[in-house]
Amino acid sequence: MKLRTKRIALVLAVIVLLTLPTAVRRVEEYLYPCKYPDVVAAYASAYDLDPLLIYTFIRTESGFDPMAESEVGARGLMQMTEDTFEWIKTKIAPEEDLTFEDLYDPDCAVRFGAYYLRLCLGRYGGDVATAAAAYHSGWGTVDSLLNHEDYQGDGKTLPSFPYSRMNHYVEKILQGYERYTELYGSSI
Report CA-CA distances (Å) from 40 to 107, 110, 119, 176, 188: 8, 7, 17, 16, 10
pLDDT (average), residues 101-118: 98
pLDDT digits (tens, 9 = 90+) for 57-81: 999 999 999 999 999 999 999 999 9
Work out the pLDDT band at 17, boundaries 50, 70, 90.
low
> With 90 as the cut, is the pLDDT of residue 151 above it?
no
CATH architecture of 34-184: Orthogonal Bundle (1.10)
User: How far is 46 from 110, CA to CA, in rounded Å?
Assistant: 11
> With 90 as the cut, is the pLDDT of residue 187 above it?
no
Active-site choice (28, 29, 61, 178): 61
User: How far is 165 from 118, CA to CA, in rounded Å?
Assistant: 22
| Active-site annotation holds for 182 | no
Work out the pLDDT band at 24, boundaries 50, 70, 90.
low
Q: Where are the beta strands (DSSP E) in 73-138?
A: none
Provide φ and ψ at 64, rounded to 5°.
70, 20
pLDDT digits (tens, 9 = 90+) for 136-150: 999 999 999 998 877
Work out the pLDDT band at 14, boundaries 50, 70, 90.
low
Work out the pLDDT band at 1, boundaries 50, 70, 90.
low
pLDDT at residue 40, rounded to an integer: 98
User: How far is 69 from 62, CA to CA, in rounded Å?
Assistant: 8
Domain locations along the chain: 1-31, 34-184
User: How far is 2 from 139, CA to CA, in rounded Å?
Assistant: 70
9 compared with 138, residue with greater pLDDT = 138
Chain Cα centroid distance, residue 39: 14
Residue 145 has a CB neighbour count (10 Å cut-off) of 23
* String of DSSP letters for 22-57: HHHHHHHHHHS---SHHHHHHHHHHTT--HHHHHHH
> pTM for the complete prediction?
0.86
Average pLDDT, the chain: 89
